Amino acid sequence: MKIKNICCIGAGYVGGPTMSVLAIQNPDIKITVVDINEERIKAWNDKDLNGLPIYEPGLKEIVQKARGQNLFFSTDVEKAIDEAEMIFISVNTPTKTYGKGKGMAADLKYIELCARQIAKVATTDKIVIEKSTLPVRTAQAIKNILDNTGNGIKFQILSNPEFLAEGTAVQDLLNPDRVLIGGEESDEGKEAIDALVDIYASWIPRERILTTNVWSSELSKLVANAFLAQRVSSINAISELCEVTGADVDEVSRAIGMDSRIGPKFLKASVGFGGSCFQKDILNLVYIAKTYGLNEVADYWEQVIIMNDHQKNRFAENIVSTLYNTVSGKKITFLGWAFKKDTNDTRESAAIYVADALLNEQAEICVYDPKVSQERIYADLDYLNTRSPEENRRLVKVVKDPYEACQEAHAIAILTEWDEFKEYDWKRIFDSVIKPAFVFDGRKILNKTTLNKMGFEYYAIGS
Ligand SMILES: NC(=O)c1ccc[n+]([C@@H]2O[C@H](COP(=O)([O-])OP(=O)(O)OC[C@H]3O[C@@H](n4cnc5c(N)ncnc54)[C@H](O)[C@@H]3O)[C@@H](O)[C@H]2O)c1
Ligand SMILES: O=c1ccn([C@@H]2O[C@H](COP(=O)(O)OP(=O)(O)O[C@H]3O[C@H](CO)[C@@H](O)[C@H](O)[C@H]3O)[C@@H](O)[C@H]2O)c(=O)[nH]1
């Protein structure tokens, strides 16, 4: 089966970049990315491309090449569904904030809405693809909705989870470790799998395209994120031990990472992992295990989150205790707000929680981040509901110049590992801050010896 027309529902961090790369690699396929968020679609259609809704290195160039050729962004969801032979569902699946499973389970209301809309609109057979991260066995629910329309249309459901990481999305999409496709074991299922394999095979070697049953594919996505986050929590647990014993966590990471069975990646100690996926997906895994009565399995994975919360808290506590047990009325400068470098995404960023803890101690925070807007920072703090929006705006200032941000600061905290932070004129910063000059490096990116020589009191996670 040769696919000519694809629709992707959800023009977010996954839908946008994924479909852009799919489009440049498959110029013969028309791809329409749709969203109910008009502002987002308008931004994807921004003429000079500087207003694209997400920042990813290399994305602008790809959108420029494909948009208007075979890649389109639109709010006309129904038309795009009707025209497509293949529909990717790439909508958000956040943690539930209400009812059964509140704070743990994935909220599938957007997924169900998509399924119902496809069922309502479709007039021809479709392959429906789960691109969003979903609890294992969600395909069954989607199938039930689609198969009960009574209009005789046939649907095949595939699971094709996305493994891109933000900040490297384009590279990850162009050169993925693997692509995972789960489908039904029937003839129709195999035909649908083959159709999707063909699309990826236009740029990815076949041996990296893995096909499994639907449940393995759905579960593997949650498990991959759980394993990755577990490594970060493991090294973060060790970072605390390093701080009290005189060991250095980077040296420990290097020493263990050279064991080929352990491997060197994802062993960088930090102020805690953030991002929209790790916490949400582990909580989801924990919830699923609990649902099946597997309490030991649930407890085991929950510890990854507990450790991560501890890491954020202790970073904030260390700032307070080092600044003579009070930060009340003191200016603390945050370098970085994004959850990692090279992205403007701040979802679940450690910076939000560290800021909240310091604001509870009446600190005054000044933030500089090269890609995150002032509105985003205030929205993140307001969302916590810890204090009034007016109070957040009174206590937190956002500036566009790092040197201005650091001026007259009682302490500087590094929350994101942006490369530019390493290049700053730290002597100039030293001269402009209140003494003693404290730096709390939550990413361990600066050189302790150099900073000490300048006169800074430098504290880094894990040393
Ligand atoms: N962000 C990542 O790096 C990443 C990586 C891999 C997988 N995932 C998973 O992919 C999914 C999407 O994540 P995201 O970060 O792109 O989310 P996002 O919030 O950036 O984008 C989702 C988009 O879907 C739209 N939407 C919701 N319901 C809709 C509907 N009924 N019709 C049309 N549009 C609708 C929203 O308006 C939003 O723009 C999630 O399940 C996530 O776990 C995310
Ligand atoms: O050694 C490390 C590696 C990462 N992190 C932190 O962990 C978080 C997540 O980083 P990363 O995984 O690189 O970014 P994400 O965009 O969240 O990507 C993860 O989540 C995506 C969404 O499911 C998956 O697709 C990706 O494969 C998976 O890496 C960030 O706060 C990082 O700073 C560390 O602290 N130390």
pLDDT given for residue 149 in this prediction: 77
Q: What is the CA radius of gyration of the chain?
A: 24
What is the structure's pLDDT at 375? 97
Kindly report, residue by residue over 276-299, the tens digit of the pLDDT.
999 999 999 999 999 999 999 999
- Find all residues with CB under 8 Å of 339, minimum gap 6, and list them: 166, 273, 274, 275, 345, 346, 347, 348, 349, 350, 351, 416
Residue nearest (by alpha carbon) to ligand 1 atom 7: 162
pLDDT confidence of 456, banded at 50, 70, 90?
very high
Show the ligand 1 pocket: residues with CB < 6 angstroms.
9-15, 34-37, 40, 77, 90-93, 110, 113-114, 132-133, 162, 164, 166, 276-277
Q: Which protein residue's CA is at the shortest distance from atom 33 of ligand 2?
A: 340
Spatial distance between the Cα atoms of 12 and 137, rounded to a whole number of angstroms: 24
ipTM of the complex in this document: 0.98
- Which ligand lies nearest the alpha carbon of 272? 2
* Contact status, residue 356 vs residue 381, Cβ threshold 8 Å: yes
- The ligand 2 atom nearest the CA atom of 172: 27
pLDDT in tens, 301-346: 999 999 999 999 999 999 999 999 999 999 999 999 999 999 999 9
Q: Distance between CA 41 and CA 8 in Å, rounded?
A: 13
CA of 75 from ligand 2 middle (Å) equals 30
Parallel, antiparallel, or unpaired: how do β-strands 396-398 and 364-368 relate? Answer: parallel
* 396 vs 410: CA distance, rounded Å: 15
pLDDT band for 151, please (50, 70, 90 cuts): confident
Nearest to 451 by CA among 97, 145, 436: 436
Closest of 14, 436, 18 to residue 200, by C-alpha: 18
Distant-in-sequence, close-in-space partners of 455: CB < 8 Å, separation ≥ 6: 430, 435, 437
Taking the CA of 39 as reference, the closest ligand is: 1
| Whole-prediction pTM | 0.96
| Binding residue ranges for NAD(+) | 10-15, 35, 40, 91-95, 132-133, 166, 277-280, 347
Is the C-beta atom of 164 inside 6 A of ligand 2? Answer: yes
User: What is the model's pLDDT at position 1?
Assistant: 84
In the three-class reduction of DSSP (H, G, I as helix; E, B as strand; rest coil), residue 462 is classed as: coil
Put residue 408 in one of left, alpha, beta given phi > 0 → left and psi -120 to 50 → alpha: left
pLDDT of residue 33: 98
Could you give the domains of the chain?
A: 5-204 (3.40.50.720), 278-460 (3.40.50.720)
Q: Active-site residue 366, yes or no?
A: no
Among all chains, which residue has been given the structure tokens 């207003």?
A: 51
295, burial (CB in 10 Å: exposed 0-12, middle 13-18, buried 19+): exposed
Residue pair 312/271 in contact (Cβ under 8 Å)? The answer is yes
- Taking residue 38's Cβ as centre, other Cβ atoms within 10 Å add up to 9
Q: 148 pLDDT band (50/70/90 cuts)? A: confident
- List, for residues 57-91, the tens digit of each pLDDT value: 999 999 999 999 999 999 999 999 999 999 999 99
Average pLDDT for 23-46: 98
Task: Give CA–CA dist 355/392, Å, rounded.
Answer: 10
Task: State yes or no: pLDDT of 150 exceeds 80.
Answer: no
Runs of H (alpha helix) within 5-136? 15-25, 38-44, 59-66, 77-83, 109-121
Q: What is the mean pLDDT of residues 172-184?
A: 98
Query: Cα separation of 284 and 286, whole Å?
Result: 5
386: Cβ contacts below 8 Å, ≥ 6 apart: 356, 359, 360
pLDDT at 218: 97
